[in-house]
Structure 1
């Protein structure tokens, strides 16, 4: 069995474990709200507010980093073409309709960890809250049934690496 098959088997087992422990109504509602908090338009609004508050260098980091993060994210999505759980598993339906066809990596998780890292550099006292939120975004994507666990893990890594790079370039 190849390493990719082993990873997929682990992902499927972990995914089903998560689904078996989920209180559907409550977690689905909460998951939708948390996932919505990581939608793209809210980042634009947040960047505008930061610009208005005088954090121009942070907005520069966010702009550069998001360009890089989105480029890498789309390249991975289009090259890996990993099916989402609903397409890969028999008799499974997600709790939300995903915005695109493929699962790997999780863009919501990547963006959330990117923002959490960047904001924690400027606002270290909010570090715990930011990373709890970013982790919740990743978990919400699993519990909503649109990503496997490794999709969110690699998304978190991608967002973090892009943040480190963007901060290093701008500052």
Structure 2
């Protein structure tokens, strides 16, 4: 079963790579690089969290993002990446030329996507006014990881699910602490 999934992942990522190279669009490449860089080390989401913490009205939501992003980082970077040791597409498929510096950590799951969708959960539940911006930003960050061939589709899908899970459990922990 895992071999079947891996073969589908390889097929899909090859399609992304061929699409990227057939377009040969400097503009689209730049946009994808920009969005992937936004997600590097979760810095955009850390900045959003610091902003939320700095405003009294949003401080509780800021605490929620801190807890949720910590849960996410532990699940993704401490547990799963080290447990699965999954290679990245450019390591599995020959002749892929990257548009960005090659990430050095393991591929599964996508940390960019999981951190982004942790924030999607928080904004959907607590800041609906800004939810569309966070959702679109997160989708483009996730797509950029495929477009730039640094993740397989299942890495991104798992990141999305783990991100939502992290937001949910962050909320449960914060609510338990406040009750």
Counterpart of 1:43?
Answer: 45
**What is the aligned counterpart of 2:3 among 5, 29, 52?**
5
1:28 matched to 2:32: no
Q: 1:129: Cα distance to partner?
A: 2.6
Contact 2:45 2:116 in 1 (8 A): no
Instruction: Please state how far the C-alpha of 1:5 moved relative to its aligned partner.
Output: 0.5
Choose 15-24 or 79-88, whichever is displaced more. Answer: 15-24
Q: TM-score by structure 1 length?
A: 0.92
Q: 1:33-112 to 2 correspondence within 5 Å?
A: 33-39=34-40, 40-54=42-56, 55-74=58-77, 75-112=79-116
Q: Secondary structure at the match of 1:37?
A: helix
Q: Equivalents in 2 of 1:129, 1:65: separation in Å?
A: 19
Matched length? 169
Question: Which secondary structure state, in structure 2, belongs to the residue aligned with residue 14 of structure 1?
Answer: helix
Residue 147 of structure 2: which of 143, 148, 168 is its match?
143
Greater mean deviation of Cα atoms: 155-164 or 54-63: 54-63
TM-score using structure 2 length: 0.88
Q: How much is the aligned-residue C-alpha RMSD, in angstroms?
A: 1.4
Alignment partners' CA distance in 2, 1:122 and 1:149: 29
Look up the match of 1:127.
Answer: 131
Gaps spanning 5+ residues in structure 1: where? none
Aligned partners of 2:99 and 2:148 also within 8 Å? yes
Give the deviation of 1:120 after TM superposition.
Answer: 2.3
C-alpha separation in 1, matches of 2:43 and 2:129: 25
